[in-house]
Amino acid sequence: MKRLLSGNEAIALGAWEAGVRYAAAYPGTPSTEILPALAQYAGVRAEWASNEKVALDAAIGASFAGGRALAAMKHVGVNVASDSLITLSYTGVGAGLVLVSADDPGSFSSQNEQDNRHYARFGKFPCLEPTDSQEAKDFTRFAFELSEQFDTPVMLRSTTRISHSKSAVEVKMPAGPREPGPLPPFERKPRKYVMIPAYARPRHPEVEARLQALVEYAESCPLNRVEWGDRRVGVISNGVAYQYAREIFAGFSFLKLGMTYPLPAGMIRDFAAEVEALVVVEELDPFIEEQVRALGLEVIGKEFFPATGELTLARVRESAIKAGLPVSHTPTLPHPDTPTLSIPPRPPALCPGCPHRAVYFNLRKLKLLVSGDIGCYAISVLPPFEEMDMLISMGASIGMAHGAKQAGCPDKIVATIGDSTFFHSGLPELANIIYNRGVACTMILDNGTTAMTGGQDNPATGVTLQGETTQAIDIEAVVRAMGVEDLWVVDALDVQGVERAIREATGIEGRPTVIIVNGACVFTPQFQRRPAVTVDLQVCNGCGFCFRVGCPAILKSGEADAKTKRPKAEIDPLLCTGCTVCLQVCPRQAIYQVGE
């Protein structure tokens, strides 16, 4: 039976088919949906880890103990996990271990668009790249075999367009529940699994020998194949780029690479010898191209095909035309002189009822420097708040604020970080600021979920990925236990309360302060929708103050104030959640709550 599955759902199915016993991930677009899909299958223990390194570490333990294991993360998550990853290449695996890296060419939901195939070369382990959901399933299953055959971690690299596209997958209905039973006792192999220098040194030649074996294996790897067509053009391609290339270069010859590290040098040479023009079409870095050039082959690549952003049919077509290559039918675009309408942009906004709204409204009002972090609250850098001054990676808000002050920055600075991000990597950053007698104020915005990625549980929510009730770690107790005495706990929807806490906390000199802001994300079951608020048009004078809270439910009405000539406010009753932040900031009490 064929079913439409996303690449992420297909990866989960492939892992299940391979008999994976343990899987862990930290949510991150575009990888997030892999673990929830896997969590539904019987016989798999699937968990949200507190960060990507923890996810990989747990997968390593499972593998050493003899259970097939998977860790999934977005591309930048692999940076977090890389400390373990590179040494994992030395130890090799017990049972098969697959690392899924979901890259984000185009930075749709990421802070950079790094090409994680480099990790495979850096760590000297294989990299597999599917081109659709069927292959995502098949390659994942294959990756476990390869991992055990060569005693190596295997990276399955997806990208946004693979993870978030749906295509047909042949699905055999799962044959009922699977009871994996206990593993045999742990097989102790300290010279393989304990990487003290004396044991690590002899593992390095093993890594090099394994790489040589993989180089030879690449020539016969079933994931690489030649598709002969017209030999005037020969295209080497991988991942979703292959799908664009086979439309643009329809009818020509292809070397489709499913294993992109290590590369099959002989196969590439043979293919190149048979075609007139050799072209590499790959997203992001010239990873394949440089290795093809190193074989002494002439190739058309990144001098025409862009190394930045995601590829599209149009970009592959334009690049091919520039390179003088033949292309398939070109669509008709509007004449450049066609008059166009000026279309207002629609940037993302904090949702109506969002618990971050009052925080950034006040931070802007108080003109404080803000060191930001990864999460929905990054939207506050856009109008109308424009209240974030630095953002670089998970957990970095606290460290950056600390460093700025220690270096002598005269401005008052506040670090803002979410609950999930706090447990991801905020904890060591807070320990550091306390230990080093730092002076910045840290605001922990606890909305009870990992919101940006769609609302996953985390160590503070009290629920596991597979739905069990668990210890909800109390952020306030953690911060107090670390020795912070200047601590405020405030309600996210109490505009004045938030302001007071920020004023008091940033007024303290000489030691770090923490404000915990509690308010449920509107997508959580804990969020309580209240009756919508309404504007009394008799009282509103169009001062525009409520527009500054950046709520999508607050609109400009058609009615202008007679004196100020400015449009009065109006509230969309369908969008409004009754959070009352606008009501609290209105200087004329023109906003009231219906039915309260």
The DSSP line for 423-437 is: IIIIHHHHHHHHHTT
Tell me: does residue 247 bind other proteins (CB under 8 A): yes
258 exposure class (CB count in 10 Å sphere: 0-12, 13-18, 19+)? buried
Residues 417-456 that bind other proteins (CB under 8 A): 452-454
| Binding-site member from 378, 390, 463, 472 for other proteins (CB under 8 A) | 378
Tell me: does residue 172 bind other proteins (CB under 8 A): no
Tell me: does residue 406 bind other proteins (CB under 8 A): no
Q: How many other β-carbons are positioned within 10 Å of the β-carbon of residue 108?
A: 13
3-state SS, residue 479: helix
Amino acid at 198: A
Nearest CB to other proteins, comparing residues 69 and 245 = 245
Distance CA 503, CA 489 (A): 14
Contact letters for other proteins, residues 117-156 (x by CB under 8 A): ---------------x------------------------
Tracing tokens 């990597």 back to the chain, one arrives at 425
> 3-state SS of 494-527?
CHHHHHHHHHHHHHCCCCCEEEEEECCCCCCCCC
Reading phi first (left if > 0) and then psi (alpha if -120 to 50, else beta), residue 146 is in alpha
Nearest CB to other proteins, comparing residues 58 and 279 = 279
| Binding-site member from 4, 194, 209, 294 for other proteins (CB under 8 A) | 4
| Binding-site member from 19, 43, 151, 166 for other proteins (CB under 8 A) | 166
Amino acid at 207: V
Nearest CB to other proteins, comparing residues 132 and 419 = 132
Task: Identify whether the C-beta of residue 66 lies closer than 8 Å to the C-beta of residue 19.
Answer: no
CB of residue 335 to other proteins, shortest distance in Å? 9
| Binding-site member from 118, 121, 164, 203 for other proteins (CB under 8 A) | 164
25 exposure class (CB count in 10 Å sphere: 0-12, 13-18, 19+)? buried
424 closest CA partner among 456, 389, 381: 456
| Binding-site member from 40, 42, 83, 108 for other proteins (CB under 8 A) | 108
Tell me: does residue 165 bind other proteins (CB under 8 A): yes
Tell me: does residue 562 bind other proteins (CB under 8 A): no
Distance CA 257, CA 460 (A): 43
Segment contacting other proteins (CB under 8 A): 13-21, 349-357, 400-408, 466-474?
349-357
Nearest CB to other proteins, comparing residues 202 and 573 = 573
Nearest CB to other proteins, comparing residues 23 and 554 = 554
Cross-strand bridge partners of residue 261: 127
Task: Identify whether the C-beta of residue 34 lies closer than 8 Å to the C-beta of residue 10.
Answer: no
CB of residue 321 to other proteins, shortest distance in Å? 14
CB of residue 49 to other proteins, shortest distance in Å? 19
Amino acid at 130: P
Distance set, CA 461 to CA 9, 48, 456, 465, 526 (Å): 25, 12, 9, 11, 11
The DSSP line for 412-466 is: -EEEEEEHHHIIIIIHHHHHHHHHTT---EEEEEE-SSBTTTT-B--TTTSB-TT
Tell me: does residue 576 bind other proteins (CB under 8 A): no
Tell me: does residue 383 bind other proteins (CB under 8 A): yes
Nearest CB to other proteins, comparing residues 9 and 148 = 9
CB of residue 550 to other proteins, shortest distance in Å? 7
CB of residue 566 to other proteins, shortest distance in Å? 9
Tell me: does residue 2 bind other proteins (CB under 8 A): yes
Residue ranges that bind other proteins, judged by CB under 8 A: 2-4, 29-30, 32, 108-109, 132, 160-161, 164-168, 240, 243-244, 246-247, 312-314, 317, 331-334, 338-351, 376, 378-379, 382-384, 452-454, 544, 547, 550, 552, 554-556, 574
